[in-house]
Structure 1
Amino acid sequence: MDQIIERPFDWITIGLLVIAVILLIRSFTLSNKLKKLRKSYSQFMDGTGVEDLEHVIIHLKQRLHEQEGGHVSLKQTVQSLGETVRRKKGNVGIHRYNAFEERGNDLSFSIAVISDEKDGMVLSGIHGRDQTFIYAKPLKEGQSKYTLTPEEIEAINLALRREA
């Protein structure tokens, strides 16, 4: 028993030896994992023409930034086109009627050509036996500085119903 007490350094040496063996085993395990990781990395990077992953990530980030800029530009273009389309005078309403109740057919007409903002014009043709008169009235927000007839108002309403 005196020998065990006199030689505590033997136990410390054995403990250190066990720790060294455990660390050696752990080192081999990590070495194998690192070898597999390098193999996977080499297969992943094979054929890309890039030597490290950092350059790939930087390149992808730059391309993403360019695409975001392109997306913003396209969005602005679409909004601009939408605004242009709304301002186009593409809503048309035609109302035919008989201007003179006692004779003739529905040969008179009112045509409204307006935008979504109700800007545009109304053309009215009053057909008589010997001649036809054509009148044009500008529209701003659905109103004209000239008096609108009920037939012209009907043509405007027909044009507005087509936009819906």
Structure 2
Amino acid sequence: MQDILNVIQDVQPYVILGLVAINLIFFILIIVLFRSLNKMEKRYRKFMRGSNNKNLEELINLYLDKVDESKSIAEDVKALYDNMDERLKGCVQKLAITRYKAFEDVGSDLSFSIALLDDNNDGVILTGIYGRNESTTYAKPIDKGISRYDLSEEELHVLNEATSD
């Protein structure tokens, strides 16, 4: 029995040193776990902000409802955009204008031709001829870039300029 006590007394400093090392390791682990827990708690509080004691299932359902509502609104906006895009194709999108002197005895470039076309090259060419004694305005319809009426050189120029855009 005395031999066992002597062996224990001989290894006692090593046992105490080992226990201190183990306690030090546990202490470091506890500090790491507390820091990790604090980070987790901050993330949890950020996740649960504004929930006012709701449980997680209610909060997730609320967010899913908001996602569904946002998806519905986005689909409505897309349909509205598609409708508007289709309507815009019928608006004047291509424009060309030229001014010229129709008669030699008239002083300035007061005559003009304007092409107003939509996305399908449908529209009108307006021509105003200014003379010394009178002024005349013509409108010639354009269908898919072609006129049923004969076009003057200036009208052909503005039609080609508008359709080339």
Considering the TM-score relative to the shorter chain, is it more than 0.5? Answer: yes
| Number of equivalences | 124
Distance 1:89 1:96 in 2: 20
Give 1:65 deviation, angstroms.
0.8
47 and 119 in structure 1: CA distance in 2 versus 1, 3 angstrom threshold: closer
Alignment of 1:9-24 (within 5 A): none
Does the 8 Å contact 2:123/2:141 carry over to 1? yes
Q: Which runs of 4 or more aligned residues in structure 1 lie more than 4 Å from their structure 2 counterparts after TM superposition? A: 39-47
Contact 2:145 2:163 in 1 (8 A): no
- Would the alpha carbon gap of residues 86 and 62 (structure 1) be closer, same or farther in structure 2, given more than 3 Å must change? same
**Partner of residue 150 from structure 1, selected from 134, 153, 164:** 153
8 Å contact kept, 1:50–1:56: no
1:42 and 1:127, CA in 2 relative to 1: closer, same or farther beyond 3 A? Answer: closer
Task: Give 1:1-164 correspondences, 5 Å limit.
Answer: 45=48, 48-100=51-103, 102-104=104-106, 105-160=108-163, 164=165
Q: Which residue of 2 aligns with 1:12?
A: none
Structure 2 stretches lacking a partner, 5+ long: 1-36
> What is the root-mean-square deviation in Å for CA atoms of aligned residues?
2.7
What amino acid does structure 2 have at the position aligned with 1:150?
Answer: E
Indicate if the aligned counterparts of 2:94 and 2:118 stay in contact, CA closer than 8 A.
yes
Q: Which TM-score applies when normalising by structure 2?
A: 0.63
Letter in 1 for 2:105: R
Q: Which ranges of structure 1 fall in alignment gaps of 5 or more residues?
A: 1-35
**Offset of residue 54 of structure 1:** 1.0
| CA deviation map 1:58-92 (0-9, x unaligned) | 11111111111111111121222222222211432
Please report how far the alpha carbon of residue 106 of structure 1 lies from its aligned counterpart in structure 2 after TM superposition. 2.5
SS in 2 for 1:87: coil
What's the TM-score, normalizing by structure 1?
0.63
The percentage of counterpart residues that share the same residue type is 34
Tell me: higher relative CO, structure 1 or 2? Use CA pairs within 8 A at least 6 residues apart. Answer: 1
SS of equivalent to 1:122: strand
Stretch moving more, 62-71 or 127-136: 127-136
